[in-house]
């Protein structure tokens, strides 16, 4: 199953199919006016209608697939979050980087499990135990900054955004 990043790419293709299908269908039906073009026009109209129905079905299926992909990334990040929290409790500061956790806290830095965005990014704003975040960018087109992010404060101050176990999907 593709990672959530690939699902986001397919959403744009599905939307294009959904909006182009009626245009092609109307154009093909108008082509039915000419007797010689009628068989081809009917075939094109039928194909466009099938494409539109398939696009609508794919669009309805996209949200559960995206949610499942995000949940997999969160699950894979759980051990990483626990390792950072143990490191911070033991040393009174956050790690400089994720590699500082290996091998004492985790055997290796885990991947997200998604081919489109395989690595967790660690940001440390200061040595404060609550001043860090894990980020996975899940946007797939230029200037798409959508990301999944973990913060130890659980995003208490974040306005209405899907949140789970300290993780939030941020779509600026």
pTM of the predicted model over 0.85: no
Q: Quick one: CA dihedral 34, 37, 38, 42, positive or negative?
A: negative
User: What is the number of other CB atoms lying within 10 angstroms of the CB of residue 7?
Assistant: 26
Residues 48, 21 contacting (CB under 8 angstroms): yes
Q: Which residues of 137-162 are buried (b: 16+ CB within 10 A; e: fewer)?
A: bbbbeeeeebbbbbbbeebeeeeeee
Question: Tell me: the pLDDT tens digits for 91-105?
Answer: 988 999 999 999 999
Question: Tell me: the pLDDT tens digits for 51-83?
Answer: 777 777 766 665 666 677 788 888 999 999 999
Task: Show the domain range for 110.
Answer: 4-170
> What's the total number of domains in the chain?
1
| 119 secondary structure, DSSP code | B
The pLDDT score that the predictor gives to residue 170 is 80
Mean pLDDT lowest among 112-121, 123-132, 156-165: 156-165
Better-predicted residue by pLDDT, 17 or 74: 74
């Amino acid at each position: 199953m593709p990672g959530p990043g690939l699902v986001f790419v397919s959403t744009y293709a599905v939307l294009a199919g959904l909006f182009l299908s009626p245009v092609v269908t109307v154009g093909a039906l108008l082509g039915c006016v000419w007797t010689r073009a009628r068989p081809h026009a009917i075939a094109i109209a039928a194909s466009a209608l099938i494409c539109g129905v398939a696009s609508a079905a794919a669009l309805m299926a996209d949200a559960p697939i995206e949610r499942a992909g995000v949940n997999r990334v969160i699950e894979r990040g759980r051990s990483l979050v626990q390792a950072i929290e143990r490191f911070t409790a033991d040393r009174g500061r956050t790690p400089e980087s994720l590699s500082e956790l290996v091998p004492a806290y985790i055997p290796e830095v885990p991947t997200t499990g998604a081919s489109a965005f395989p690595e967790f990014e660690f940001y440390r704003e200061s040595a404060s135990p609550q001043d860090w975040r894990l980020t996975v960018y899940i946007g797939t087109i230029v200037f798409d900054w959508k990301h999944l992010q973990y913060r130890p404060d659980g995003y208490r101050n974040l306005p209405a955004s899907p949140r789970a176990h300290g993780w939030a999907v941020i779509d600026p």
